[in-house]
């Protein structure tokens, strides 16, 4: 049991928050914590956590923006938000079945930065970077250098989309697509909307959650202007991630007519109980977001300590169904390489 000093419980960060919020999202992104020692120090973690944090950091670097750090309870190594971002020694232990490319995405890349696995929709790697590095990420070993196309290479991707009239939806993914500049994104969306058979633009992102100021005027300008129908899928795993600033960012998106959905990953020690999942759905709906998917963990090397067995996942969802209205139930799914869609459990 860790003893917490009252001083730590008072969240000393709060006094400096107005300053951090005044900074642009780009500044907040560039100032994200990228040093495991600083992360442990800022959160008042016992020194015993440091060697593991440094070992995990060497496998997949630490990255935590201040706006997210401010929602973590200092001095609590079991904080569900902290567990998502703190590297652990366990990440270095091999676990059977946990591999580098669990989704075999390397097999479905017809053009640079393009993944075409499912009928009617394609996934575009719009930015190799993320604003936060989530320890459970299935792309923690993704070869982004090979999938971070220049404008010239984008032409190949756009040609693929133009040449296949069955593609109705372009999904911007990453990394985090909203880590790219608005200039770059506006350029890409202008080219996408010029493809007549494309109907929808979908954006999968965690940026509005970890740096809510990302939803600023420059972003709303290009997102409001496109003829494409817009869907944003947020990635939120725990109700504690949704603070007032996140609710306000969602409100700005809703005002321009963006449909907001959420996908979560079922994570041991973060959201693996009915109460937390129910509170997450309730909190999402307060923010105007509907639950979409609850993914079981992809078996990526370094994340085995987050795994929740399938039987337990099914039981949790059955318990959730007893306490939530149907429209607040996420679909429990797994991604199986070679299947034509996500697979319901």
Binding site residues, ligand SF4, CB under 6 A: 130, 132-134, 137, 139, 174-176, 206, 235
Q: b/e for 86-122, b at 16 or more Cβ within 10 A?
A: bbbebbeeeeeebeebbbebeebbebbbbbbbeeeeb
What separation, in Å, do the N-terminal and C-terminal C-alpha atoms of the chain show? 36
- 30 is an interface residue for ligand PLP by CB under 6 A: no
Q: Which of residues 150-179 bind ligand PLP (CB under 6 A)?
A: 171
Give the integer Cα–Cα distance in Å for 28 and 50: 24
Position 184 contacts ligand PLP (CB under 6 A): no
Q: How far is the CB of 121 from ligand PLP (least distance, A)?
A: 5
Beta carbon of residue 64, minimum distance to ligand SF4 (angstroms, whole number): 11
The verdict on whether omega for the bond into residue 175 sits within 30 degrees of 0, i.e. cis, is: yes
CA separation for the pair 340, 80 (Å, rounded): 33
Taking contact as CB under 6 A, which single stretch among the options 32-40, 112-120, 252-260, 321-329 is the one that binds ligand PLP? 112-120
Question: Is 134 flagged in the annotation as binding?
Answer: yes
- Residue 250 annotated as binding? no
Q: How far is the CB of 122 from ligand PLP (least distance, A)?
A: 7
Distance CA 145, CA 194 (A): 28
Q: Which of residues 40-99 bind ligand PLP (CB under 6 A)?
A: none
Would you say 83 or 139 has its CB closer to ligand SF4? Answer: 139
Cβ at position 318, least distance to ligand PLP in Å: 22
* Least distance (Å) between residue 130 CB and ligand SF4: 3
| The pairing of beta strand 200-205 with beta strand 331-334 | unpaired
CB of 188 to ligand PLP, least distance (A): 17
Nearest to 338 by CA among 99, 113, 107, 96: 107
Q: Is 115 in the site for ligand PLP (CB under 6 A)?
A: yes
Tell me: is residue 137 an annotated ligand-binding position. Answer: yes
State yes or no: residue 117 binds ligand PLP (CB under 6 A): yes
Cα–Cα distance between 165 and 168 in angstroms, integer? 7
Q: With binding defined as CB under 6 A, does residue 341 bind ligand PLP?
A: yes
When binding is defined by CB under 6 A, the residue of 121, 252, 254, 268 that contacts ligand PLP is: 121
Nearer to ligand PLP by C-beta: 11 or 331? 331
Annotated binding site for [4Fe-4S] cluster: 130, 134, 137
Sites of contact with ligand PLP (CB under 6 A): 115, 117-118, 121, 123, 171, 341-342
């Amino acid at each position: 049991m860790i003893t917490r000093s009252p001083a730590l419980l008072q969240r000393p960060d709060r006094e400096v928050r107005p300053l951090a919020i005044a900074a642009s999202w780009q500044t907040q992104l560039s100032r994200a914590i990228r040093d495991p020692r600083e992360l442990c120090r800022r959160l008042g973690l016992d020194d015993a956590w440091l060697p593991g944090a440094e070992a995990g950091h060497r496998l997949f670097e630490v990255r935590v923006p201040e706006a997210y750090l401010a929602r973590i309870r200092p001095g609590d190594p079991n904080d569900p938000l902290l567990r998502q971002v703190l590297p652990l020694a366990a990440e270095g232990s091999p676990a059977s079945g946990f591999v580098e490319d669990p989704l075999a995405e390397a097999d479905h890349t017809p053009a640079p930065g393009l993944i075409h696995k499912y009928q009617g929709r394609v996934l575009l790697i719009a930015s190799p970077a993320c604003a936060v590095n989530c320890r459970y990420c299935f792309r923690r070993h993704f070869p982004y250098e090979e999938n971070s196309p220049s404008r010239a290479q984008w032409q190949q991707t756009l040609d693929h989309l133009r040449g296949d009239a069955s593609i109705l939806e372009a999904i911007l993914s990453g990394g985090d697509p909203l880590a790219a500049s608005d200039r770059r994104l506006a350029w890409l969306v202008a080219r996408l909307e010029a493809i007549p058979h494309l109907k929808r633009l979908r954006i999968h992102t965690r940026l509005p959650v970890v740096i809510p100021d990302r939803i600023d005027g420059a972003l709303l300008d290009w997102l409001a202007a496109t003829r494409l129908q817009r869907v944003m899928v947020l990635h939120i795993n725990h109700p504690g991630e949704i603070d007032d600033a996140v609710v306000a960012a969602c409100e700005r998106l809703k005002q321009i007519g963006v449909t907001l959905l959420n996908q979560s990953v079922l994570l041991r020690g973060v959201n693996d109980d009915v109460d937390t999942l129910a509170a997450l759905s309730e909190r999402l709906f307060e923010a105007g977001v509907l639950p979409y998917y609850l993914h079981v963990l992809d078996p990526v090397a370094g994340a085995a300590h987050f795994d929740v067995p399938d039987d337990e996942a099914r039981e949790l969802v059955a318990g959730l169904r007893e306490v939530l209205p149907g429209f607040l139930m996420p679909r429990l799914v797994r991604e199986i390489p070679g299947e034509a869609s996500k697979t319901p459990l």
